[in-house]
């Protein structure tokens, strides 16, 4: 395998979370979304369980997602007394800023032979591939884990069962501008070398 390491370095260092408020509103072609998701499916996966599940919301489907998650939020939070009107309205309107939203789930393997943490790890590797592929296409991406992500009642909306997990929502859009790079901690702060 022979790749341009300089371009790879630029892609990895240049990848950013680009938030929906910074999208232009332009549409994204379905074939590009398919390619981005295909790249996600090439993430590492222990015992090849491929635990990732994607539900793609596009065009009017985004309005449907907004309605579904707002209704789920209202039902759950009114029952437990934590309902907040501003959050409810945000769930109805904020999704409409994105050209595409991909709900990401983790489906447990039926034999449960792989520890859950490894399955979650595989899904997050797939999410990193989404980020990198989106950036390579000049698209902004952002993983949201807010809203109804951790509601048990939300799982069934995305074809997930009780043993599965809803991981979050990956927003895609054409950015108005690319965010400036931010520094990372020096390698010495996060790395320990053992040589003997």
Tell me what pLDDT residue 5 has: 95
CA atoms within 13 A on the CB side of 194: 0
Strand partners, 104: 54, 168
Under DSSP, the state recorded for 97 is G
CB 57 within 8 A of CB 133: no
139 contacts: CB under 8 Å, gap ≥ 6: 28, 32, 36, 172, 173, 174, 175
3-class DSSP state of 16: coil
Tell me what pLDDT residue 66 has: 98
Tell me what pLDDT residue 170 has: 98
Sheet with strand 52-58: strands edge to edge: 52-58, 100-106, 165-173, 140-144
User: Which residue, 154, 156, 158, 144, is CA-closest to 72?
Assistant: 154
Q: In whole angstroms, give the CA distance from residue 70 to residue 60.
A: 16
pTM of the complete model = 0.95
Q: In whole angstroms, give the CA distance from residue 125 to residue 44.
A: 7
Q: In whole angstroms, give the CA distance from residue 54 to residue 52.
A: 7
Tell me what pLDDT residue 136 has: 97
How does pLDDT run along the chain (196 residues), one tens digit per residue? 889 999 999 999 999 999 999 999 999 999 999 999 999 999 999 999 999 999 999 999 999 999 999 999 999 999 999 999 999 999 999 999 999 999 999 999 877 689 999 999 999 999 999 999 999 999 999 999 999 999 999 999 999 999 999 999 999 999 999 988 888 999 999 999 999 9
Domains of the chain: 16-58+98-176 (3.40.109.10)
């Amino acid at each position: 395998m022979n790749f341009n390491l300089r371009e790879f370095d630029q892609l990895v260092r240049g990848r950013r979370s680009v938030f929906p408020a910074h999208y232009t509103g332009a549409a994204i072609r379905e074939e590009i979304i398919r390619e981005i998701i295909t790249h996600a499916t090439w993430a590492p996966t222990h015992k090849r369980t491929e635990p990732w599940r994607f539900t793609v919301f596009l065009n009017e489907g985004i309005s449907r997602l907004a309605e579904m998650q707002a209704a789920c939020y209202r039902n759950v939070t009114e029952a437990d007394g934590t309902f907040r009107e501003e959050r409810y309205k945000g769930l109805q309107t904020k999704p409409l800023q994105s050209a595409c939203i991909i709900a990401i789930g983790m489906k447990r393997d039926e034999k449960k032979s792989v520890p859950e943490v490894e399955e979650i790890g595989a899904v997050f590797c797939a999410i990193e591939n989404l980020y990198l592929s989106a950036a390579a296409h000049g698209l902004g991406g952002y993983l949201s884990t807010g809203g109804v992500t951790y509601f048990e009642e939300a799982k069934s909306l995305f074809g997930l069962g009780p043993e599965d997990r809803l991981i979050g929502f990956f927003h895609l859009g054409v950015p108005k501008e690319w965010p400036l790079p931010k520094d990372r901690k020096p390698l010495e702060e996060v790395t320990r070398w053992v040589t003997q």
